Amino acid sequence: MRDLLCGNVDATMIGERLSVCGWVAKRREHGEHLAFLDLRDRSGVVQAVVDGSVDVRGEYVLRITGTVSRRPEGTVNDRLTTGEVELTDCQVEVLSAAEPPPFQIDERSDVDEQVRLKYRYIDLRRDKMQRNLRMRANVNATMRRAMERQGFCEVETPLLWAPTPEGAREFVVPSRLHPGEFYVLPQSPQIAKQLLMVGGLDRYFQIARCLRDEDLRADRQFEFTQLDVEASFVNQDDIFAFVSEAVLDAAEEATGERPGPIGTMTWAAALDRYGTDKPDLRFAMELHDLSAIFVSTEVKAFSAPTIKAMRVPGGAEFTRSRLDTLTEHAKSLGAKGLAWFRVTAEGLDSPLVRFLNPEESAAIAVVDGAQVGDLVLIVADEYALACKVLGALRLVIGAPPVSQGPHRYVWITEFPLFEGVDEDGNLVAAHHPFTMPHPDDLELIDTEPLKVRSQSYDLVLNGWELGSGSVRIHRADIQSRIFQALGISDDEAHHRFGFLLGAFKYGAPPHAGFAVGIDRLVAIFAGEDNIREVIAFPKTQSGADLMTGAPKNITERQIRDLRLKFAPKV
RNA sequence: GGACCUGUGGUGCAGCUCGGAGUGCACGCCGCCCUGUCAAGGCGGAGGUCGCGGGUUCAAAUCCCGUCAGGUCCGCCA
């Protein structure tokens, strides 16, 4: 039907008679004797010259057969890759007529996302969406090659899985053949891939869809895609090497530049220095601890276990209203307040300054090498809250847009095994209950469980959590101690994870794994601050698909077959 | 569950503080003119439940209350 793509027509073809197919991107009519048509397909645009008027409108689908000709002197268009040539003596065949689209398909117009999502099939014609989805396909292909090269075997795992309550809320699928019973869609192939290790697959990967019925965000959809990895007879460093290879290959494919090796940082250091477990290393503004200086302070606002300070370069210029906004932000995150100190040539400037003793003033004035013109922000609270609040302010004040700055990867290691206790007083697993504790901390499980580090790790890029993984427990004795600590009885463990524990009885290899969030990875490569821009058919924040109308009612017949009934709305 | 922002011809925006006739801008659309444009140009035209409901008022796009939709965030995301 066509000889080549619109964007590939070039000067080497001059004189040839060729056919191209595509959509009318633009028409410029000059009376009844001359018209220009820009024909667009996935590769770009080419100009066709029509002698006489032509009865087509925007977005008509055409097949144009014409002679590739050099454009006349002075009419070359440098902004088009095909701008040197044009198609002449054109024969135009209308393959499909089109109504005027609900919005204009060009990169200049900024269309409301509600409209774009309703007509996603039109939105996808835009050059940016074409580029993003193509980049995503290339990233997938590159990572798949990297895993295969490293001896990994791609295995598909079920979408209809057994409920394993705990963790993310699961999407539930009613069973027709077993009324009253349910499958769930996997939050991740976690248990399946561990069973593949018991099954001797040795090195598994999958570009896997994961589903979680949790509230959506700019970086979270109900369904998302991971490069899911698990390997036997390996340690944490081996996993870092496998995953780095795939991610760095993907980065090189997407950006044309291969990043250097990915460094590591402990979870404790990340929290202490950046106030988060996913630090954005594109900029400094590290947190500093002034607790020792204020240990016996007279300043009431600073009578707290932890005093955390952050220098804001040039921040002395912040208006009072901006400082108030920052204070409100800090309070909304749970802080009691936010103390600010302008560093001026005459000393510190702050409502609190008259309460400080000279030693305290001096310490604040030199935080992080502060200079005249800088601002120092201080949060006084419990350690974790002070870090978290200042870490959030650090991002609000300093973080560059997603599309700017270098790509700074880091492995975050030694996450705590437990992240606190639930309302029943039981410990809560920070990662999942199959995570191997740090070998040096096994003795602390019974005495100081919250201090136990785990062999789990995250990959972070520019402040985004790209994925996480861990060395898994493969020994029944350790697993049983962990279940005990989590308040999961033998009976309950057997009920919930019996098939996995059963499998481990028959010879489980030591194994470890990881999963990389592909939506987020591609979004950052594409300079998008929202993963919807790299997903063909995403859902809105309320989980609706504006194009299909999902979620929708099902028929009475379907309800009857599934033997469902609905509780009245509360 | 909560906080904040947005909603005005097909699209994007201005108008909203400080109420006074659906007023304006750009793009698109329709008609006419135009033989080298490429964000083509010129002339003319059509197109509106100011998201929806209620309230205040002589009078509401504008003020108040509620609600729906979209977005950003907190909670949530083993």
Strands A263-266 and A409-413, bridge-based pairing: parallel
Q: How far apart are CA A451 and CA A2, in angstroms?
A: 66
Asked if residue A439 is part of any domain, the answer here is no
Residue A26 bridge partners (DSSP): A38
Torsion angle of the four alpha carbons A370, A371, A375, A378, in this order, in degrees rounded to the nearest 10? 20
Encode pLDDT of A198-207 as tens digits.
999 999 999 9
Reduced to 3 states (helix: H, G, I; strand: E, B; else coil), residue A20 is strand
Distances (CA, A) of A500 to A166, A193, A475, A485: 15, 11, 12, 19
Tell me which H or E stretch contains A208: strand A203-211
Tell me which H or E stretch contains A28: strand A17-29
- Domain match, A121 and A147 both: yes
pLDDT at res. A245? 98
Asked if residue A358 is part of any domain, the answer here is yes
pLDDT at res. A570? 56
- CATH assignment of the domain containing A370: 3.30.1360.30
Shortest CA distance to A75 belongs to which of A30, A129, A115, A112?
A30
Q: How far apart are CA A396 and CA A213, in angstroms?
A: 28
Q: What's the Å distance between residue A96 CA and nucleotide B40 C1'?
A: 26
In angstroms, the first-to-last Cα distance of chain A is: 59
Asked if residue A427 is part of any domain, the answer here is no
- Domain match, A239 and A302 both: no
Neighbours of A321 (CB within 10 A): 8
- C-alpha A270: how far from its chain's center? 19
Residue A363 CB partners (closer than 8 Å, separation 6+): A290, A293
Q: How far apart are CA A246 and CA A365, in angstroms?
A: 45
- Domain match, A68 and A214 both: no
- Domain match, A138 and A250 both: yes
Asked if residue A102 is part of any domain, the answer here is no
Encode pLDDT of A362-379 as tens digits.
999 999 999 999 999 999
Q: What's the Å distance between residue A570 CA and nucleotide B66 C1'?
A: 20
- Half-sphere exposure (Cβ direction) of A467: Cα atoms closer than 13 Å: 27
- Domain match, A63 and A193 both: no
- CATH assignment of the domain containing A123: 3.30.930.10
Residues 14-53 of A near strand B (Cβ < 7 Å)? 26, 28-34, 36, 38, 47, 49
- Domain match, A31 and A153 both: no
Q: How far apart are CA A467 and CA A465, in angstroms?
A: 6
A363 close to A356: Cβ distance less than 8 angstroms: no
Question: Is the shortest CB-to-strand distance from A433 to strand B under 7 Å?
Answer: yes
pLDDT at res. A205? 98
Residue A344 bridge partners (DSSP): A347
Say which nucleotide is closest to residue A429, CA to C1' distance: B78
Tracing tokens 């191209």 back to the chain, one arrives at A20
Asked if residue A70 is part of any domain, the answer here is yes
Asked if residue A448 is part of any domain, the answer here is no
Q: How far apart are CA A326 and CA A337, in angstroms?
A: 10
A191 close to A500: Cβ distance less than 8 angstroms: yes
A543 close to A549: Cβ distance less than 8 angstroms: no
Q: What's the Å distance between residue A106 CA and nucleotide B26 C1'?
A: 15
Distances (CA, A) of A453 to A127, A238, A442, A485: 47, 19, 9, 14
Which segments of chain A have a pLDDT < 50?
none
- Domain match, A244 and A299 both: no
Q: How far apart are CA A222 and CA A215, in angstroms?
A: 8
Question: Is the shortest CB-to-strand distance from A546 to strand B under 7 Å?
Answer: yes
What domain range includes position A15? 6-96
Q: What is the biggest distance separating any 2 CA atoms in chain A, rounded to whole angstroms?
A: 90
Using a 10 angstrom Cβ sphere, with 0-12 exposed, 13-18 middle and 19 or more buried, the burial of residue A434 is buried
Residues 330-349 of A near strand B (Cβ < 7 Å)? 332-333
- Domain match, A84 and A208 both: no
- Domain match, A409 and A554 both: yes
Asked if residue A490 is part of any domain, the answer here is no
Q: What's the Å distance between residue A56 CA and nucleotide B32 C1'?
A: 18
Q: What's the Å distance between residue A151 CA and nucleotide B6 C1'?
A: 51
- Domain match, A467 and A381 both: no
- CATH assignment of the domain containing A41: 2.40.50.140
- Domain match, A295 and A393 both: yes
pLDDT at res. A569? 64
Check residue A232 and report its DSSP letter: E
A36 close to A27: Cβ distance less than 8 angstroms: yes
Question: Is the shortest CB-to-strand distance from A80 to strand B under 7 Å?
Answer: yes
- Number of domains comprising chain A: 3
Asked if residue A482 is part of any domain, the answer here is no
Question: Is the shortest CB-to-strand distance from A541 to strand B under 7 Å?
Answer: yes
For residue A401, whether the previous peptide bond is cis, meaning omega lies within 30 degrees of 0, is no
- Domain match, A164 and A240 both: yes
Domain boundary among A96, A125, A147: A96
